[in-house]
């Protein structure tokens, strides 16, 4: 492994100008190593991934402490929702990488008789991965695993909102990679903008729709490929046949984990008007069981995270209060403490479709409960909005479930649970429309960071000479025969 300068030569909390200068230097350093890294064998890439795994395990406690410092996230929740998913992704990639890397044989048509066709997977080259703050470890390292498996060099940029976690992750990267292969750059919006101005071959971004558009514009300037993992209002539909107790328990868990700051959290729940009160009662009991029976207990709970910063807290509280002023009722929660960025797990009933809380992704611990009279009405309402990153269906009726799948579109769907499709590396994870484009995890991630190169090998004997000029009567007869043959297929 070549000797390289240490990644932390520029402190993680250095100003943007220092970070920008370092980013530009790293881009050139990685440009020089790009082809060497691209030619790495499966054995070499697997060794890198195993080195990353060992580094993560060595720094596990530092990660726990860091994410706790950034937004009071419980170590057990962090382990389950982030660390375990990343370690599982590494295990999956190392187990299957040799097969993924093999050229894939494809059929060769009769018109190209004598030839052999295959698809080779080659790295895209230089990759930029821009990660968000809400799951800072998992949403940085999962795409990194795919990028390394595909043979790319990478620059990583974590969110400036989680400085302690960024510092811990930087130490993992230093421990696992030389900087001419993988390096991390911190900094604020100026640094992010400077990175977007560099001619990377692929941009991978997880975050808001507004910033996603900005990343896509930057990629267009470089004619680079892009993967966008965005968000949106992910609905949960509770069908009349559903087990209401099970649905409430799972939706409450999925909504309030990480204080609702999850891109695939159920953003609102659709419940039949005759079942709404029973669902609310069950959900209220689940909140008490998970986080405490009183507000004092919930506020003191070690299991409930905090809103990431002051502006996010004010935004969420603002739409909550406006919605209540418009006629919605708080069924549980609503208590808040700005000094702690604490907003209690909150249930809202009587929510109308045009309420402030329904106009954009909430991204916080507020769950609107919207009543519907018929499944067709619910599907029409969902279809009138933007395409969500996830859609959840609670039903014991297969025909109703199929109606939902046929009558909607979403990045991913779970039947009778929430969130957990992310834990299956054999399922591609990604959005559609405003919720994103492209997907990753497992082989889908390997493909996202690879170019599929078409290769046709022709032998000495083939039909080629039949099509060479001059184009006389014989050639016209051959062309007519081929046309008739193709029309009969």
**CA 452 vs CA 124, 144, 148: distances in Å:** 9, 19, 16
pLDDT per residue over 250-266, tens digit each? 999 999 999 999 999 99
Q: How far is CA 52 from CA 46, 144, 254, 447, 460, in A?
A: 10, 10, 29, 20, 47
Mean pLDDT score, 104-127: 92
What's the token pair of residue 318? Answer: 């603002």
Q: What is the pLDDT of residues 389-444, one digit of tens each?
A: 999 999 999 999 999 999 999 999 999 999 999 999 999 999 999 999 999 999 99
- The average pLDDT across 58-84 equals 95
Mean pLDDT over residues 179-205, rounded?
96
Instruction: Kindly report, residue by residue over 199-248, the tens digit of the pLDDT.
Output: 999 999 999 999 999 999 999 999 999 999 998 899 999 999 999 999 99
pLDDT at 6 over 80: no
Q: What is the band of 462 on the pLDDT scale with cuts at 50, 70, 90?
A: low
The reported pLDDT for the residue numbered 315 is 97
Q: What is the rounded end-to-end Cα distance, in angstroms, of the chain?
A: 56
How would you class 386 by CB atoms within 10 Å of its CB: exposed for 0-12, middle for 13-18, buried for 19 or more? middle
Asked whether residue 4 carries a pLDDT value surpassing 50, the answer given is no
Is the distance from CB of 145 to CB of 86 less than 8 angstroms? yes
Q: Which two tokens stand for residue 24?
A: 């530009």
Write the burial class of residue 322 (CB in 10 Å: 0-12 exposed, 13-18 middle, 19+ buried): middle
Radius of gyration, alpha carbons of the chain: 26
Going by pLDDT thresholds of 50, 70 and 90, the confidence category of residue 474 is confident
The predicted-structure confidence for 312-330, as pLDDT tens digits, reads as follows 999 999 999 999 999 999 9
Report pLDDT for 7. 43
What pLDDT band is residue 15 in, cutting at 50, 70 and 90?
A: confident
13 confidence band (pLDDT: 50, 70, 90): low
Mean pLDDT (the chain, rounded): 93
What DSSP string describes 164-214? HHHHHHHHHHHHH--TTTEEE----HHHHHHHHTS--SEEEEES-HHHHHH
Average pLDDT of span 448-460:
93
From the list 362, 449, 425, 339, the residue with the least C-alpha distance to 134 is: 362
CA 6 to chain centre: 29
What confidence category does residue 1 fall into, taking pLDDT thresholds of 50, 70 and 90?
A: very low
Q: How confident is the model at residue 11 (pLDDT cuts 50, 70, 90)?
A: low
Domains of the chain from N-terminus onward: 7-230+440-451 (3.40.605.10), 235-430 (3.40.309.10)
pLDDT interval class at 20 (50, 70, 90): very high
pLDDT grade for 5, boundaries at 50, 70 and 90: very low
Q: Give the mean pLDDT of 48-63.
A: 97
Instruction: Assign 460 a pLDDT band (cuts: 50, 70, 90).
Output: confident
At 215, list the tokens.
Answer: 């990343």
pLDDT class for 9, splitting at 50, 70, 90? low
Compute the average pLDDT of residues 273-279.
97
Instruction: Give the whole-angstrom CA distance, residue 485 versus residue 472.
Output: 20
Q: What does the pLDDT look like over 348-398, one tens digit per residue?
A: 999 999 999 999 999 999 999 999 999 999 999 999 999 999 999 999 999
Output b/e per residue, 416-455; b: 16+ Cβ within 10 A: bbbbebbeebeebbbbbbbbbbbbbbbbbbbbbbbeeeee
pLDDT tier at 468 (50, 70, 90 boundaries)?
confident
Q: pLDDT value at position 470?
A: 80
Catalytic residues: 229, 263
Give the separation between CA 310 and CA 312, rounded to whole angstroms: 5
Kindly give the pairing relationship between strand 225-229 and strand 436-437.
Answer: antiparallel
CA distance 465 to 468: 5
pLDDT at 12: 62
Residue 52 is predicted with a pLDDT of 98
Lowest mean pLDDT among 2-11, 112-121, 194-203: 2-11
CA angle at residue 420 from 389 to 353, to 5 degrees?
40
């Amino acid at each position: 492994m070549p000797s390289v300068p240490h990644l932390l030569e520029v402190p993680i909390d250095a100003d943007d100008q220092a970070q920008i200068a370092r980013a530009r230097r790293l881009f050139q350093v990685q440009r020089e190593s790009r082809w060497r890294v691209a030619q790495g064998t499966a054995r070499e890439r697997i060794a890198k991934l195993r080195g990353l795994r060992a580094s993560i395990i060595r720094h596990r406690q530092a990660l726990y402490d860091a994410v706790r410092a950034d937004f009071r996230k419980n170590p057990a929740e962090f382990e389950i929702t982030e660390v375990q998913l990343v370690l599982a992704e590494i295990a999956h990639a190392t187990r299957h990488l040799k097969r993924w890397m093999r050229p894939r044989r494809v059929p060769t048509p009769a018109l190209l008789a004598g030839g052999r066709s295959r698809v080779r997977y080659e790295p895209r080259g230089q990759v930029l991965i821009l990660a968000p703050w809400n799951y800072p470890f998992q949403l940085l390292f999962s795409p990194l695993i795919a990028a390394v498996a595909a043979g790319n060099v990478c620059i990583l940029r974590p969110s400036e909102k989680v400085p302690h976690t960024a510092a811990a992750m930087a130490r993992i990267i230093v421990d696992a990679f030389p900087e001419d292969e993988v390096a991390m750059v911190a900094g604020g919006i100026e640094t992010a903008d400077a990175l977007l101005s560099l001619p990377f071959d692929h941009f991978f971004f997880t975050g808001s729709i507004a910033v996603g558009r900005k990343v896509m514009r930057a990629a267009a300037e470089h004619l680079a490929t892009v993967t966008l993992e965005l968000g949106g209002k992910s609905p949960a539909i509770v069908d009349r046949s559903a087990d209401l107790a099970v649905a409430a328990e799972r939706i409450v868990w999925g909504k309030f984990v990480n204080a609702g700051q999850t891109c695939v959290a159920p953003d609102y729940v659709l419940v039949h008007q005759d079942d709404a009160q029973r669902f609310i009662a069950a959900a209220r009991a689940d909140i008490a069981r998970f986080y405490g029976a009183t507000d004092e207990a919930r506020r003191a709970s070690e299991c409930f995270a905090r809103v990431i910063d002051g502006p996010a807290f004010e935004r969420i509280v603002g739409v909550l209060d406006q919605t209540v002023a418009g006629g919605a009722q708080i069924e549980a929660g609503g208590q808040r403490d700005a000094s702690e960025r604490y907003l209690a797990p909150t249930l809202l009933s009587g929510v109308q479709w045009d309420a402030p809380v329904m106009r954009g992704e909430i991204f916080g611990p507020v769950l609107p409960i919207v009543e519907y009279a018929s499944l067709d009405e619910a599907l029409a309402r969902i279809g009138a909005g933007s395409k969500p990153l996830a859609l959840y269906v609670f039903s014991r009726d297969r025909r109703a479930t199929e109606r939902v799948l046929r009558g909607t579109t979403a990045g991913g769907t779970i039947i009778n649970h929430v969130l957990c499709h992310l834990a299956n590396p054999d399922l591609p994870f990604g959005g559609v429309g405003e919720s994103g484009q492209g997907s990753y995890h497992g082989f889908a991630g390997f493909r996202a960071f690879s170019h599929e190169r078409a290769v046709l090998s022709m032998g000495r004997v083939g039909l080629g000479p039949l099509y060479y000029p001059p184009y006389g009567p014989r050639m016209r007869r051959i062309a007519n025969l081929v046309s008739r043959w193709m029309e009969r297929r």
